[in-house]
Chains A and B, each alone.
Chain A
């Protein structure tokens, strides 16, 4: 158990819908990362937050947005869903978000878009 929690574990929805994925970082960690993992794309970095502020952006679509709240939990919002958005979405946390810090990954949310 990494100490990072993600809900829900599984999510099945239809094209065009909007979903929210939630992540609670390890106690004491200030930085949260979101990743998408699919069979054809591998693990793709989406976005990073540190203490409530966006710090780095990766391959995140405009239909996707995220935020980190004052209590440090984070949400990833996916809208106008397409079949290709079906993937595992991981949240990770680290102490202060610097490159040499260990990232602790949550168990992931498996999103299926039908």
Chain B
């Protein structure tokens, strides 16, 4: 069974600070996705990365896929209270969308 480990489990920061969330595995993934989930709602996709070494930027969010496609990171610059949520990474390793989710990182940004 592949395991996606996310760290840290919980992150509390002040508005304006930067943060990085990590997603690591011993297995290779064909693609990796990052989601944000708010209480009482389903996860919402932020980004999909498919190429080793790929870097994608979404406004203040920067996503990186490791060269070996085993790990990924999410960096948020100048965090805002609206960034509060549970950040989940999900990896797919075969031709169909059988996804393995990490346990998530709970991010709290206080004004």
Contact = CB atoms under 8 A, between A and B. Distances in A.
Nearest to B43: A105
A106 interface: yes
A43 B101 CA distance: 6
Interface SS majority for chain A: strand
B74 interface: no
A31 interface: yes
A98 B97 contact: yes
Contacts of A102: 33, 45, 48
Interface string A25-52: 0000001010100000011110010100
Contacts of A104: 45
A97 B96 contact: yes
B109 interface: no
Interface in B65-111: 88, 90, 92, 94-104
Interface SS majority for chain B: loop
- Interface-central residue, B92, B94, B98, B101, by most chain A CB under 10 Å: B98
A94 B88 contact: no
B55 interface: no
- Interface-central residue, A35, A99, A103, by most chain B CB under 10 Å: A99
A97 B31 CA distance: 13
Given A42-B103, A56-B94, 8 more contacts: A2-B42, A43-B104, A45-B99, A99-B30, A101-B97, A104-B45, A105-B43, A105-B44
9 contacts: A2-B44, A42-B103, A44-B101, A92-B42, A99-B30, A99-B95, A101-B97, A107-B40, A108-B41
Lowest 6 A-B CB distances belong to which pairs?
A: A105-B42, A99-B92, A56-B98, A43-B101, A42-B103, A99-B31
